Structure 1
Amino acid sequence: MKKGEIDLNDVFEIHKKNIGVLSLKTTEEVHDNQDLAKMYTPGVAELSLMIEKDHDLARELTISGKLVAVVTDGTAVLGLGNVGDQAGLPIVEGKSLLYKTLADVDAIPLAIKQKSVDEIVDTIANLEHSFAGIHLEDISAPQCFEIEEKLQERVSIPVYHDDQEGTAIVVLAGLINAAKLANKPMSELKVLINGVGASGLATAELLFKVGVTHLTLVDKQGVLKVTDKTLNKYQRQLVEKLAENKNVTTLSEAIVGQDAFIGLSDGNVLTEKMVESMSSSAIVFALANPVPEIDPELAKKAGAKLIATGSSKYPNQVNNILAFPGLFKGLLLSKAKKVDLELQIEVANSLADLVTEPSTEKFIPNVFDSGVVEAVTQAVLNYKK
């Protein structure tokens, strides 16, 4: 078995042994009638009467003050695509496991049958009082943009889409240190983003916010242009803010002279020849999983100086695990209502700062480095002060 590969039999057995990887655990024990009266009836009836008069008490007296819902409809699962809501459950269950393991945040996976945007929004919004936050996962674009947008307008708890905000945060964190190593200010970087779905669009928005204005967006149809009638409204709004290069249409044309390639697309779409045509200090983030846009060794051979992937098999893994556990821990502690662009920048900077001496082999923290969750949590708490 090759390095980094896993035995599928082990995977199956681990998940089958206990019917998944999550289980409820009580915070109190019931040994006698006195315990029963305090933790169930008649004691809880008094709590209900108190909450009826003051709804905010529910957040202090019930699990609703600390429980995160990790929600998917299974329309955009990893690199697998639309596999359905039930097939999306292993992903959101895994994310819930990581919340508890890494940040001691209680989270529960929820799979919603694929419905219209408004039906999904209604379903989640109607569950608002049971949760302290909503983590959206693996929902296809552009529906994911609309769902998050509408939920943020309707609910009073934070709504976070990991494929958008999580990806954008960790990409920015890596790019901050990569730019330092390349001796280029962020504002001067020429960046090409390949794949302008949920992750690509959110990443482009965040990079634009920090001053990366030399942005080229490439999707399946080629370089995105304002004249393209296939753009969704969110893509169009961003493209309209960018300086358009009308002389190129394909990835191979657009990559020439670029300082950084951010791949949030498909495996093996970037060639050695394309990397060779980039600037002399080329930065390549080949983040597609399970197969990157280009094999890191080939990218290095072609002249890429700074390389990151989405895989733990290689150095500089750009993984959302760096962001979401600590982020939501901070949100719950601070009682924040929204993950806005400014907060994302704070978190990205906190992650970048954890690597005190960036190098080609390490310019972004490892997901198991000590202090990652704490740094992200503190960034959220500092931002809310």
Structure 2
Amino acid sequence: MYNQFRQDFPVLNSNFHDKQLIYLDNAATSQKPSSVLQAVKEYYQKHNANPYRGLYGLSVKATDAYESARKLTAEFIHADNPSEVIFTRNTTEALNLLAYSYGRSVLKSGDEIVLSISEHHSNIIPWQQVAKEKGAVLKYLYLSDDGRIIEEDLEKKITERTKIVSIAHVSNVLGTIHPIEKIIQKAHSVGAVAVVDTAQGIPHYPVDVQKLDVDFLAFSGHKMLAPMGIGVLYGKEKLLNAMPPFLTGGEMIEIVSEQDATFAPLPHKFEAGTPNVGGAVGLAAAIEYINHIGYETIQNIEEELTDYALQELNKLPEITIYGDKVNCRKRCGVISFNVNGVHPHDTASILDGDGIAVRAGHHCAQPLMKYLNVPATCRISFYFYNTKEEINLFIQSLKKVRRLLGYGN
């Protein structure tokens, strides 16, 4: 399984069920290179302390590590200022922060929030809760058979009543790359704020928040080689400054009296409590690794893998593929499918017996499952350390699923 990057990922040498691990669940979380693991280990071994709160040298080092990670993250997404980068636990927390702080502040009865039907629950439920509280209306952009947002919906549903448009960069189920530039422009044309969930996008594609002119952007570190427990909310400084805090307590304050408090300036206003410095250090190391490889290399490898996988899956008459079935340049390396007559959980279990890790379920996208008229799907998802040989072994294992369940050859 030659791939020049595989040697950087220790877990890829693991065995499961006496078979070498074939990890095809990268949309759920990516594996971590040695450089990221070492950076986190070194931080805890040599620099661990509570940042900001100590005047001693070790605390200063921890503070420097945390703020250096913020600065590198800001540069990575081309933010105008590091203070526009808020560290969170993950994309889910970032979107909750946004819904409860920004949404609660601006929404009124009758205002509209526009999402796509393919959103992850993290980009649905926070808006549902705020909409119920404020009397706002949720509208959904629906999809064509190949998984793309219907153009007519885009034009009809984003209107003068729209206040927030929140869209995933890439669908975690269909792999569809949504036209976020066009959606942001449409949102701004009616005076709405544009939010992009790039949890599935930024591991594979560069993001320039200034070029996009996006108002808010959310993503998780663990899907792009970093540890779990670190995420990012980017927001335009003017908007963030106008928002009330999401969580309150230690570190996010300026002055506290018995009856009142004033809050710290950005970004600390939104980072209550002891921060995840080790996670931020790991995120910085992950960004450095991605910068070293280059997005062009990542995309070239993944397009080749996706194209090959689609070709091989399309040869199997008992397989149903959801979303675009042929065009790897209009979709990310995320492919949802089902084996006809077989529950996705059974398919995943049989593949697991051959050491092949795939996802099965509704993928935190139940509205999309209902729209597709399926209860669940299997999903494979690639990263640049996967190989064609792994796809071949996956296809071989997939071919025996129906036979093992009594359907014949």
Aligning the two structures, in what range does the TM-score lie when normalised by the shorter sequence? 0.3 to 0.5
Going by fraction, where is strand more abundant, 1 or 2? Answer: 2
Structure with the greater relative contact order (CA < 8 A, sep ≥ 6): 1 or 2? 2
Give the TM-score, by structure 2 length. 0.31
